[in-house]
Amino acid sequence: MDQPIGVIDSGVGGLTVASELIRQLPKEQLIYLGDTLRCPYGPRPKQEVVEYTWEMVDFLLNKNIKMLVVACNTATAYTLDELRANLSIPVIGVIQPGARAAIKMTNNRRIGVIGTEGTINSKAYPLALQSINSNIVVNDLACPKLAPMVEEGNLTGSEAYDIVYQSLKPLKDKNHIDTLILGCTHYPLVKDLIQEVIGKHVHVISSGEETAREISTILSFNKKLYNGTRIPKHQFFTTGRLHVFESIANKWLQQPLGFVKNINLSEKSFNK
């Protein structure tokens, strides 16, 4: 089916999921929308996150997408059930795939989760993990400084390391986890720093690979995979600073973006 897959995120973090989608489903076209102007979503009230998420969804629905990927943990926690109940297309979040990947990796059944305040307060990960295995011990920690750091393009160097170290110190000092879920799609952009701080003995889990695998399965089951020969032309939209978005996206995707545009979601004038 020659329709694009829509991917939404509060900023650039969802590019980690988009990158994995491009790798696993090279024939599919993506339309990515990052609400970088209003990022991060984590500290925002639930109703505000719901409102912003629906604005992004409405924009992508006007692009005739065949599937919606909510590549933001906070938006997934707050809106996934509502989106699935109201949309006629498949809707995929990143929490369940991340939880399944972590359970596959853990040996001592002690799993850490780091995320935004919204994601951690929602308890979405403990619920997802313990619904699969009630013996899992979950240690979750809000890291409010990490997503803004990534949005600014601060991905390496001593300043970034110090922020990661101070953010993870309570988790590192407190418990003997053997697996850590990056419960925000921004965090894989600094995965190497996180691994260095938390220790090589800890499996660090990004949900992108597992999410892409689930998307492939669902599209195949619904007979919506594209099987033609055209070369995919991805589209990228951002509500914030274009040059910052392009810089991070080019670095992460390791290929030219092609079509990239700044938009204003509050205008409600979405052109097809």
Q: Are 138 and 129 spatial neighbours (Cβ–Cβ below 8 Å)?
A: yes
**Cα 91 off chain centre by:** 14
Closest CA to 163 of 200, 183, 190: 190
Catalytic positions, please?
72, 184
Read off φ and ψ for residue 183, nearest 5 degrees.
-85, 30
9 annotated as a binding-site residue: yes
41 is in an annotated binding site: yes
CA–CA gap between residue 272 and residue 257 (Å, rounded): 20
69: enclosing H helix or E strand: strand 67-70
Are 59 and 270 contacting, i.e. CB atoms less than 8 angstroms apart?
yes
Q: Is 42 annotated as a binding residue?
A: yes
Is 238 annotated among the ligand-binding residues?
no
Tokens of 209: 């690979």
Distance set, CA 177 to CA 110, 112, 139, 181 (Å): 5, 6, 8, 11
State yes or no: 74 annotated in a binding site: yes
3-state secondary structure of 142: strand
10 is in an annotated binding site: yes
DSSP state of 187: G
Which residue numbers belong to the known binding site?
9-10, 41-42, 73-74, 185-186
Which residue numbers belong to the known binding site for substrate?
9-10, 41-42, 73-74, 185-186
